[in-house]
Amino acid sequence: MDSESTATTCYRHPAVECHVRCVRCERYVCPDCMRAAAVGHQCPECAREGARSVRQARTVAGGRISATPVVTYVLFALNVLAYLAELVRPGLVDRFAMVGSRLVAPDGTPLVGDGVFLTSGPLQVEGVAGGEWERMLTGAFLHQSPFEGTFGILHITMNMVVLWQLGRVVELMLGRVRFVALYLLSALGGSVLELALADPWRSSVGASGAVFGVGAAYYVLHRRLGADMVRVNRFMAALLLWLLVSAWFTSWQGHLGGLLVGGALGSAFAYAPRDGRRVAIQAGAGVALLVLLAATAALKVSELTGGSVPL
C-alpha cells in the first residue's frame, strides 16, 4: 500500500502529518493543537468542553472567588473623594445629607426645630419628604467636617478604618455582587430607621450604617464557617459599645438600622441552601428587605406630608 495514502493529518491543519489522537473524540491532532489531559492528549474543542463541565470554586455564599477586594477599595475611595469635595464645597452637605423633612426659607436658609419663623416669602420643604429620595444613599457617603460636629475628622477616620479592615474580609467571603448589595442595603436601612425614629428635621451624614451592616455580616459569616469566635466576639462587643455611645453623640438609629439589615441579609447569604435554589433565595431576601425599607420610608413620608408621597 502507498505510504502517502495511509498518512494521517491534523483535523485543524490538514497539511501537517501527525499520529496522535484526541482521547475523547479520537481525531488526529498535531503538536500545536494538543492539550495535555490526565491521560493522553485532547483536541482544543474537547479541552474547552471539559473545562466547562468542571465545577468552579465559589465563596461560602456562592459568589465568584476573587483575590482582590475591588469593591472595598472603590467604596473607600468614593467616601474619601466625597469628603474632599465637601471640604471644597461645604454646601454639598446641606444638599445631600440625610434629612427627613425640613423647612427652608426663600433665601435657602434651613429652618430647624419647632417654633414660629418670620420670613419674607413662602417656605419650602426639603429632604426626603420633599421628594429628595436620593438623600437616603448620598448621606452615607458624606461625613462631618473636621471643623464641625462632635467627632470632626474622627468621624470619617473611624468609619474608613473599619471599612478597610472588615470590608476586605467580607467581600472575599461573599463575592463582589453580594457585597455591593450588602453595603448599599445596610446604608439604606440606616437611613430608613433614622427617618422613622429620629427628628425629621435633623441632618445626618456618615457611612456608619453601611459599616455596621458589614460588621454584622462579618459576625454571621464567621459563625457559619465555625471559626474561632473569641476575636470576632471581641470585635462585636466593641461595635455594640460604639452603638450605645452613639446614642449620646450621633445617630444611633442609623447605626442600628444598618446593623439589623446587614445581619438579616448576611444570614440569608450565609445560610441559603447550597443547591439550585440558593441564588433565588438570596435574591429574594434582598428584594424583600428592599420592599420593606421602601414601604417603611413611604409610610413615614406619608405621615410627614399629611397623606401624600412626593416622587
- pLDDT at position 236: 86
Closest CA to 179 of 191, 169, 188: 169
- pLDDT at position 185: 98
Q: Which residues pair with 269 in a beta bridge?
A: none
- pLDDT at position 212: 94
Count the neighbouring beta carbons within 10 Å of the beta carbon of residue 281.
Answer: 16
Closest CA to 179 of 162, 191, 167: 167
- pLDDT at position 138: 95
- pLDDT at position 2: 45
CATH 1.20.1540.10 fits 70-304, yes or no: yes
The beta strand positions in the chain, using DSSP E, are: 20-21, 28-29, 35-36, 41-42, 102-104, 110-111, 124-126
Ramachandran region of residue 297, left (φ > 0), alpha (ψ -120 to 50) or beta?
A: alpha
Per-residue pLDDT of the chain (311 residues; tens, 9 = 90+): 444 446 788 888 888 888 888 888 878 888 888 888 777 788 888 888 776 655 567 788 888 888 899 999 999 999 999 999 999 998 898 889 999 888 776 655 666 554 444 445 566 778 898 889 999 999 999 988 776 656 668 888 989 999 999 999 999 999 999 999 999 999 999 999 999 998 888 888 989 999 999 999 999 999 988 888 888 888 888 888 887 777 667 778 999 999 999 999 999 999 999 888 999 999 999 999 999 999 999 999 998 887 666 66
Domain spans in the chain, listed from the N-terminal domain onward = 3-53, 70-304
- pLDDT at position 118: 45
Closest CA to 137 of 87, 92, 187, 177: 187
